[in-house]
Amino acid sequence: MPPTFHSSLTLALVVVLTGIGAGLGGMCLALLLHGIQHLAYGYSLDSLVSHQTFLWGVTAATPERRLHVLMVCGVVAGLGWWTLYRYGRPLVSVKQAVSASLPIMPAKTTLAHAVLQIITVALGSPLGREVAPREVGALAATWLSQRARLTPEMHRLLVACGAGAGLAAVYNVPLGGAVFVLEVLVGAFSWPAALMALATSAIGAAVAWLGLGAEAQYVVPHFVLSPALIAWAVVCGPVFGVAAYGFTRLTGAARAHAARGWRLPVLALLNFSLIGGLAMLLPQILGNGKGPAQLGFDNELGIGLAAVLLVAKVLVTAASLRAGAEGGLLTPGLANGALLAIILGGAWSLVLPGVPLGAFAIIGAAAFLAASMSMPLTAIVLVAEFTRIEHDFLVPIILAVIGSVCVSKLCQRGENTGKKPA
């Protein structure tokens, strides 16, 4: 058998197995998330996959139960990550794992890190759950790549594809997972990379259908595209860029000064207890932000409540990172964009009425997410797959994303220029 054919066959097999492994890992993490949510807040106890949402569950729970669950979350987060940092091997992020130095992700520590994120988000942590399936997918790819003895370049690419497939599996976004690999992790386009990313993400999403179904993440009503909505996207896109830049600065500083040592369990318990107290009045702040985003898309939020939730979500997200909790910022960023869009769209409607607030929310979610995570293409595709919005809505989404990302980059450039010595 010719060596080239053998190596190609091996690579194809590893790609398929990576997609399967990432899909199974993402599915298991999502089912674990649902199971803990249902047990903690006492809803849909007969099924892991339910039509009753997390927001419905926490709202139906008593205020005292919300407080008690968040106190448990603080104990789990504090002791869990303290133990991990104290006794586990140093963590290797997905970004580090696909870098030129190719450090290997420690299996046990990475799995524990992923499971801790899922448990705390399920209990009500305001951080995102998307990092965990990416880590598990990358870990599966690492193991397979080592067994197949792939070249360093193929190893790096496969690890990135595993992470993208994990994202695709847990959110049912096969194209979004592939674009994330190329835009964020690899940072370049090539046909081999594109084909591997598409294959692993499609397989990962399809495998996860077995346990999670193929439903869209958000159910949105039918919105009619109008010139006023397009004009709003052009005018307000830059505002999302400024807001996303501020959010990135805030969360970056919180992560840079995250609690470690004995302070971690103390601050984690204090932080999540305070969040629980706030959730007694505002149950919408619990979780990664999917609930408020869905309310925004459904036209069920007014300007006042959206403003309160936006301020609260930003503060509890930054506070949780500062207290030492771990998690992603994808859904929190998307929710922040939707909430800010309702505020800006509501003000716009005072002058030019007729556009539903939910239409503003979808566009704002994409614009904020694109700038806050520096991934314009991925954000556009993710929001399209999350909501399955009509094709024509891509026009205002793209225009808002362009304005948002450009202004965010200008803010970053201005900051870097200001730091240069005279």
- Residue 23 CA to residue 207 CA, distance in Å, equals 5
Closest of 180, 214, 218 to residue 197, by C-alpha: 180
Mind listing the domains of the chain with CATH numbers?
A: 3-212 (1.10.3080.10), 227-419 (1.10.3080.10)
**Residues, the chain:** 422
Put simply, whether the predicted model's pTM sits higher than 0.85 gets the answer yes
pLDDT digits (tens, 9 = 90+) for 297-356: 999 999 999 999 999 999 999 999 999 999 999 999 999 999 999 999 999 999 989 999
> Do residues 136 and 22 touch, judged by C-beta distance below 8 A?
yes
pLDDT digits (tens, 9 = 90+) for 1-55: 445 877 889 999 999 999 999 999 999 999 999 999 999 999 988 888 878 899 9
The pair of three-digit structure tokens given for residue 39, joined into one six-digit string? 């047990």
| Residue 137 DSSP SS3 | helix
> Do residues 403 and 238 touch, judged by C-beta distance below 8 A?
yes
Q: Quote the crossing angle between the two packed helices 63-87 and 263-279, to the nearest 10°.
A: 160
Closest of 320, 315, 316, 412 to residue 371, by C-alpha: 412
pLDDT of residue 1: 42
> Do residues 289 and 336 touch, judged by C-beta distance below 8 A?
yes
The pair of three-digit structure tokens given for residue 25, joined into one six-digit string? 């890992």
Burial annotation 337-363 (CB, 10 A radius, 16+ → b, else e): bbbbbbbbbbebbeeeeebbbbbbbbb
Task: List, run by run, the mean pLDDT of 10-residue segments along the chain (422 residues).
Answer: 74 97 98 97 85 93 98 98 96 92 92 98 97 97 94 95 98 98 94 96 98 92 93 98 98 97 97 98 96 95 96 98 97 98 96 94 98 98 96 96 98 79 50
